[in-house]
Amino acid sequence: MRISFISLILIVFSQTSFSAAKIEHWQTKQGSPVFFVETQGLPMVDIRVVFDAGSARDGYQYGIASLTSALLDTGAENWSADEIAERFESVGAQFGAGVSRDNAWVSLRSLTESKLLDKALQTLQGILKTPAFNETDFQREKIRTLAGLKHREESPGALASLEFFKVLYQDHPYAHPSSGVVETVSGFSAEDLKAFYKKYYVVSNARVIIVGDVSKQKAMKIAQSLVAGLAAGTKPDVLPEVVVARKGITKHIKFPSTQTHVLAGQIGMDRKDKDYLSLYVGNHILGGSGLVSQLSEEVREKRGLAYSAYSYFSPQFRKGPFIMGLQTRNDQTAEAVTVMKNTLKAFVENGPTEKALVAAKKNITGGFAMRFDTNSKLINYVSMIGFYELPLDYLDTFQQRVEAVTVASIKDAFSRRLKPEFLNIITVGGE
Amino acid sequence: MEYALKQQVYKLQSELVSEQELQRVKAQVLASAVYERDSNFYQAMQLGMLETVGVGWEKVDEYVDKVNQITAEQVRDVARKYLVEEKLNIAYLDPQPIKQQKHRSKVAGGRHAH
């Protein structure tokens, strides 16, 4: 195999400078949506099959989506876990699987040479179609998961995050951690996982995303073959709306550490939020741009209270959280929290300066092409667009939409959406 | 443990690796050579590195071809030539009591400026 490097670089460069990415979209014969971007220059392809089977679908079995996903490649067809790993390895393919609150995915990266790709695809099909959920593999993964969950109790950062989501989301399916809790996971059986798989890993709940050096024809075949063996199933019910509480909870968890972890925030926005761009650009200035953000300026540069301080919106299918975070020496916690609160309050009341907005826009639009200048980064965006049903020209119009944000639109969006008086504040650390 | 590790080296020196195993490794070399190029940054680094050490950037295109030409005999010969007892270094790490460490955050807010 020979690739001329000069031409390769030219191809990649010219692609990103003209159009962000041309996403093609269709449905398989069975009705699963497919999203495809053809990229040329490297004989490789990235494939992802995404299901609405994240931890928000756990019900009361917290952690079942995650454990189901972890078991997928431990046995399928008549292959053992080792044989599956060997099948992928022998053709240089990489398999992955994982869950978030909103979804579960399996991913494959393979070379496009048919001999190699075919074996990788065949293995992936097997995993999707006939995962075994063997008792021995199940017990091993369960023990591993439980060990991880116990380990979490030793991390003040993880404890803060657990409590933060619990406080924000109450009885909403986003409240519990994707990996589950010891009390629920220890009660699972392999049969529970099988039932979860049967319900959610179905055609009507699948989306296929393909990015790479294959023709549309080939992409159609690949997508078709991956969902062909799955049961038709039904689309799960739409997740319930998040209730935004009109109060804030402050809670401290004692932990034998010299640093205190602070998380403060409230319910933020969803993926299709009308205020998305104003909140996103505004947050970039408030706490999303690293050391030059306002939070970092107030907490770190002016007062030396923390190594870093940040804020972000984490948009989900339903409203995800708005989070501010920092860690500080135990005796400085109260001061750090006050600075955090005041910085947010001032931003919500006054918005950013025109100068800060111009700088933020330049930073966001200037670095935009670099966010998907590789296939692996691009497939993340295409998966997001596909799963959340965002417009196919989302990437093409992104910079324009950033440019359209004004000081007034940021001020308006922040004052409607964030209520500093209802901030939830979780601290974990020593006295 | 040490004995088991040495046994593996000895096996490499005395037996020929199977064709299947060789093919598996070659497929992985090819795959990682392609996957690595899915990054302008890495491409630049690779070319720069080859130039810096005096090999010349043109060599980058030969890598996969050359790996594909390797035979089981060559693997055995190299193992015999370089993996020798006189040049073996062994490091032992005795478990130490764990001191309480300060937890460093992942810098979620941005990268560290030095």
Mean pLDDT by 10 residues, chain A (431 residues): 47 50 95 96 96 98 98 97 96 97 98 95 98 97 97 95 97 97 98 98 98 97 96 96 94 96 98 97 97 96 96 98 98 97 97 97 95 94 97 96 98 96 97 82
pLDDT of residue A387: 98
- The domain boundary, picked from A228, A260, A280, lies at A228
Measured between CB atoms, which of A111, A308, A373 is closest to B105? Answer: A308
Q: Is residue A203 part of a domain?
A: yes
pLDDT of residue B85: 87
Give the number of C-alpha atoms closer than 13 A to the C-alpha of residue A15, restricted to the C-beta side: 20
B107 is a domain residue: no
**B98 at the A interface (CB within 8 A)?**
no
- Helices A407-417 and A333-350 meet at what angle, rounded to 10? 120
d(CA A327, CA A321): 19
Task: Say yes or no: A213 and A362 in one domain.
Answer: no
C-alpha of B39 from chain center: 20
Tokens of A216: 């549309």
Q: Domain check: are A223 and A255 in the same one?
A: no
Strand partners, A425: A250, A264
B34 with A295: Cβ contact below 8 A: no
Q: Is B113 on the interface with A (CB under 8 A)?
A: yes
Q: Which residues in chain A are contacts of B27 at CB distance < 8 A?
A: 89-92, 116
Query: In a mutagenesis test of the A interface, which of B103, B106, B107, B111 is the best target, namely the one with the most A β-carbons within 10 Å?
Result: B103
Considering the domain architecture, whether residues A313 and A215 belong to the same structural domain is answered as: no
User: What is the predicted pLDDT for the residue at A227?
Assistant: 96
- Residue ending a domain, among A180, A197, A228, is A228
Residues whose CB is less than 8 angstroms from the CB of residue A44 and which lie 6 or more positions away in sequence, other chains included? A109, A110, A111, A112, A212, A213, A375, B31, B34, B35, B38
CB-count exposure of residue A421 (10 Å: 0-12, 13-18, 19+): exposed
Residue B46 CB partners (closer than 8 Å, separation 6+) = B36, B60
Which of A195, A228, A261 delimits the end of a domain?
A228
B31 contacts chain A (CB < 8 A): yes
In angstroms, the separation between the Cα of residue A24 and the nearest Cα of chain B is 21
Q: Note whether A65 and A100 are within 8 A (CB).
A: no
In a domain, A369, yes or no: yes
Under an 8 A CB cutoff, do B108 and A42 touch? Answer: no
| CA gap A225, A148 in Å, rounded | 35
Residue A41's pLDDT is 87
| CATH classification at residue A390 | 3.30.830.10
Say whether both A219 and A278 belong to one domain: no
State the angle between helix axes of A354-366 and A276-283 in degrees (0 to 180), rounded to the nearest 10. Answer: 100
| A33-38, strands of its sheet edge to edge | A24-27, A33-38, A206-212, A44-51, A104-111, A94-99
Q: Which residues have C-beta within 8 Å of that of residue B11, sequence separation ≥ 6?
A: none
Residue of chain A with shortest Cα separation from B110: A290
pTM: 0.88
Q: Please indicate whether, in this complex, the C-beta atoms of A375 and B27 are within 8 angstroms of each other.
A: no
Of A86, A94, A307, the CB nearest to B105: A307
Quote the domain boundaries for residue B40.
2-87
Q: Say which residues have a Cβ less than 8 Å from residue A249's Cβ, sequence separation at least 6.
A: A167, A424, A425
* B55/chain A closest Cα distance in angstroms: 16
For testing the chain B interface, which of A91, A117, A297 should be mutated: the one with the most B CBs within 10 Å?
A91
Question: Is residue A346 within 8 Å of residue A339, measured between CB atoms?
Answer: no
Residue B81 included in any domain: yes
Same domain, A322 and A209: no
Enumerate the residues of chain B whose CB falls inside 8 A of the CB of residue A375. Answer: 38
Length of chain A: 431
Q: Are residue A171 and residue A279 in the same domain, yes or no?
A: no
Helix axes A276-283, A407-417, angle to 10 degrees: 100
In B, which residues are within 8 Å of A90 by CB distance? 20, 23-24, 27
Overall number of domains in chain B: 1
Q: Is residue B111 part of a domain?
A: no
Contact list, B64 vs chain A (CB under 8 Å): 1
The reply to whether A240 falls in a domain is no
In a domain, A220, yes or no: yes
Is B99 inside a domain boundary? no
Identify whether A77 is part of a domain: yes
Instruction: Check whether residue A274 and residue A414 sit in a common domain.
Output: yes
B21 → chain A, closest CA residue: A90
CB contact under 8 A, A44 and B35: yes
The predicted complex's ipTM stands at: 0.83
Q: Which residues of A touch B103 (CB under 8 A)?
A: 155-157, 257, 259, 327
- Domain range spanning residue A310? 250-429
CB contact under 8 A, B38 and A375: yes
Asked whether residue A224 falls in the same domain as residue A272, the answer is no
Q: What is the pLDDT of residue B112?
A: 44
Q: What is the pLDDT along chain B (114 residues), one digit of tens a residue?
A: 889 999 999 999 999 999 999 999 999 999 999 999 999 899 999 999 999 999 999 998 888 889 989 999 999 999 999 999 888 999 998 887 766 554 444 444 444 444
Do A149 and A218 lie in one domain? The reply is yes
Q: How far is A91 from chain B (nearest CA, A)?
A: 5
Q: What is the domain count for chain A?
A: 2
pLDDT at B100: 53
Nearest CA of chain A to the CA of B40: how many Å?
Answer: 7
Cβ-contact A310, B110 below 8 angstroms: yes
Q: Are residues A215 and A169 part of one domain?
A: yes
3-state secondary structure chain A: CCCCHHHHHHHHHHHHHHCCCCCEEEECCCCCEEEEEECCCCCEEEEEEEECCCHHHCCCCCCHHHHHHHHHHHEECCEEHHHHHHHHHHCCCEEEEEECCCCEEEEEEEECCHHHHHHHHHHHHHHHHCECCCHHHHHHHHHHHHHHHHHHCCCHHHHHHHHHHHHHHCCCCCCCCCCCCHHHHCCCCHHHHHHHHHHHCCHHHEEEEEEECCCHHHHHHHHHHHHHCCCCCCCCCCCCCCCCCCCCCEEEEECCCCEEEEEEEEECCECCCCCHHHHHHHHHHHHHCHHHCHHHHHHHHHCCCCCCEEEEECCECCCCEEEEEEEEEHHHHHHHHHHHHHHHHHHHHHCCCHHHHHHHHHHHHHCHHHHHCCHHHHHHHHHHHHHCCCCCCHHHHHHHHHHCCCHHHHHHHHHHHCCHHHCEEEEEECC
- CA-nearest residue of chain B to A375? B38
Tell whether A39 and A106 lie within a shared domain: yes
**Cβ pair B40:A12 closer than 8 A:** yes
CB contact (8 A) between residue B103 and residue A156: yes
In a domain, B112, yes or no: no
Domain assignment present for B9: yes
Residue A181 shares a structural domain with residue A257:
no
User: CB of A24 within 8 A of CB of A37?
Assistant: yes
Q: What is the pLDDT of residue A287?
A: 97
What's B43's domain CATH number? 3.30.830.10
